[in-house]
């Protein structure tokens, strides 16, 4: 019989990628969609006929229970979140409500349904929870979050573990390091870079402004990571797993890789707020630093060790960093001027 999945946060990058993955596996896919005056359905356009959306919100526990009772899913993927770390410093209470209490509300709904319902839940936990912890980071690394986003995600993480132990629920945490794709929102650094690089290539823009160029992240491809999320729920025993590539690169290196795709080499000159990225051939200044883009506290480096997922799930990333950057550039090249794109066959 075909399995039924419910995805919260289905309109985001991961939701849209996971929905496609599950449809290909023959699942009946449902999504929770919050009310919005201007619905953000762009990423789901091509599969809109194949999925069923339900109105509900992570801040409304009754709506979560109602949707779960109605569709009786086999698997729930909790991807709903306010996911921008910088924004979490501006709206910490809202972020805690959605990311922390929202997960608690979902767990309460599962508790009411009872462990015998057999529903399995995946929680989108985040490497942001590691914060200032030393690298490499794995399931045993003590968390040291340093943003309201990281703290909220940590509350959700522990709630999942607590409900698993206390009520026997089949709930698992995926501790995912940064994962990107052409569907990534333009407010995140990778997509901001690839879009700007394509605009510069097309002569539509001169300069890319960035914040902390030294920050290092372990960047993988969202398609690999959503496959890993699914693999977690296929385990008989729920558990927590890190998904990561095991390689960290700086924002500066991501910039270089993106320009490289368009045939430009970047030379860095100056330091701190005065640092600039210059085209080695033309001498044109292409990258500058904008202090407004710095965060009140910043994670210097995230670098994951996914040995457990490799050994127990048989998971490993298949898409290289170079191919990720190339795919993002290729998609942003299609329409570099911000028009609506039809790029979602990822
Ligand atoms: O792309 P980012 O905004 O991602 P960040 O903060 O690492 O968070 C992402 O990954 C987490 C997993 O670790 C998720 F939980 C979270 O939801 C999200 O998906 O920033 C990456 C790095 C940061 O260090 C930031 O300070 O890039 C640095 N950065 C430098 N200039 C910039 C910019 N980030 C953004 N967004 N914009 C800039 O102009």
- DSSP codes of every residue in 32-45: EE---SS---GGGG
| CB environment 172-189: b (16+ within 10 A), e (fewer) | bbbbbbbbbbbbbeeebb
pLDDT at 340: 53
pLDDT at 345: 44
**Beta-bridge partner residues of 52:** 30
Tell the residue nearest (CA) to atom 31 of ligand 1.
211
pLDDT at 336: 53
Test site for ligand 1: of 130, 148, 180, 211, most ligand atoms within 8 A of the Cβ:
211
Tell the residue nearest (CA) to atom 16 of ligand 1.
83
Which domains are assigned to the chain?
Answer: 4-180+219-243 (3.40.50.720), 189-217+249-299+320-338 (3.90.25.10)
User: Quick check: bond before 136 cis, omega within 30?
Assistant: yes
Quote the ligand 1 centre to 189 CA distance (angstroms). 6
CB of 216 within 6 A of ligand 1: the answer is no
CB of 192 within 6 A of ligand 1: the answer is yes
Tell the residue nearest (CA) to atom 28 of ligand 1.
212
DSSP letter assigned to residue 127:
G
CB of 242 within 6 A of ligand 1: the answer is no
| Global pTM value | 0.96
Instruction: Tell me the Ramachandran region of residue 132: left when phi exceeds 0, alpha when psi lies from -120 to 50, beta otherwise.
Output: alpha
Q: What is the CA radius of gyration of the chain?
A: 20
CB of 211 within 6 A of ligand 1: the answer is yes
pLDDT at 36: 86
For each of the chain's 346 residues, which pLDDT tens digit applies? 899 999 999 999 999 999 999 999 999 999 999 988 777 899 999 999 999 999 999 999 999 999 999 999 999 999 999 999 999 999 999 999 999 999 999 999 999 999 999 999 999 999 999 999 999 999 999 999 999 999 999 999 999 999 999 999 999 999 999 999 999 999 999 999 999 999 999 999 999 999 999 999 999 999 999 999 999 999 999 999 999 999 999 999 999 999 999 999 999 999 999 999 999 999 999 999 999 999 999 999 999 999 999 999 999 999 999 999 999 999 999 865 555 555 444 4
CB of 246 within 6 A of ligand 1: the answer is no
Query: How far is residue 204's CA from residue 257's CA, in Å, rounded to a whole number?
Result: 20
29 sits in which H/E element: strand 28-33
Test site for ligand 1: of 85, 143, 249, most ligand atoms within 8 A of the Cβ:
85
Instruction: Tell me the Ramachandran region of residue 272: left when phi exceeds 0, alpha when psi lies from -120 to 50, beta otherwise.
Output: left
- CA atoms within 13 Å, Cβ hemisphere of 326: 6
CB of 215 within 6 A of ligand 1: the answer is yes
């Amino acid at each position: 019989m075909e399995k039924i999945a419910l995805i919260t946060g289905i309109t985001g990058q991961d939701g849209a990628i996971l929905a496609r993955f599950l449809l290909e596996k023959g699942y009946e896919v449902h999504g929770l969609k919050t009310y919005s005056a201007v619905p953000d359905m762009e990423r789901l356009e091509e599969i809109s006929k194949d999925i069923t959306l339900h109105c509900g919100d992570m801040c409304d526990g009754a709506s979560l229970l109602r949707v779960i009772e109605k569709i009786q899913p086999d698997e729930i993927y909790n991807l709903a979140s306010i996911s921008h770390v910088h924004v979490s410093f501006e709206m910490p209470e809202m972020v805690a409500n959605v990311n922390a209490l929202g997960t608690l509300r979902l767990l309460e709904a599962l508790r009411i349904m009872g462990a015998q319902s057999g529903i399995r839940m995946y929680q989108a936990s985040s490497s942001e929870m590691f914060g200032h912890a030393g690298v490499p980071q794995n399931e045993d690394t003590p968390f040291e979050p340093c943003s309201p986003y990281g703290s909220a995600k940590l509350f959700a993480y522990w709630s999942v573990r607590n409900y698993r132990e206390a009520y026997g629920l089949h709930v698992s945490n995926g501790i995912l390091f940064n994962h990107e794709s052409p569907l990534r929102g333009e407010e995140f650094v990778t997509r901001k870079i690839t879009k700007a690089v394509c605009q510069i290539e097309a002569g539509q823009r001169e300069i890319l402004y960035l914040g902390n160029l030294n920050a290092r992240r372990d960047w993988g491809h969202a398609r690999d990571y959503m496959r890993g999320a699914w693999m977690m729920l296929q385990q008989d025993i729920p558990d927590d797993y890190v998904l990561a590539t095991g390689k960290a690169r700086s924002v500066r290196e991501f910039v270089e890789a993106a320009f490289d795709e368009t045939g430009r080499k970047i030379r860095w000159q100056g330091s701190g707020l005065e640092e600039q990225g210059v085209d080695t051939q033309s001498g044109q200044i292409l990258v500058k630093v904008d202090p407004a883009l710095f965060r009140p506290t910043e994670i210097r480096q995230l670098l994951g060790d996914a040995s457990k997922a490799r050994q127990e799930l048989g998971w490993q990333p298949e898409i290289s960093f170079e191919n990720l950057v190339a795919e993002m550039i290729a998609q942003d090249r299609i329409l570099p001027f911000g028009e609506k794109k039809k790029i979602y066959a990822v």
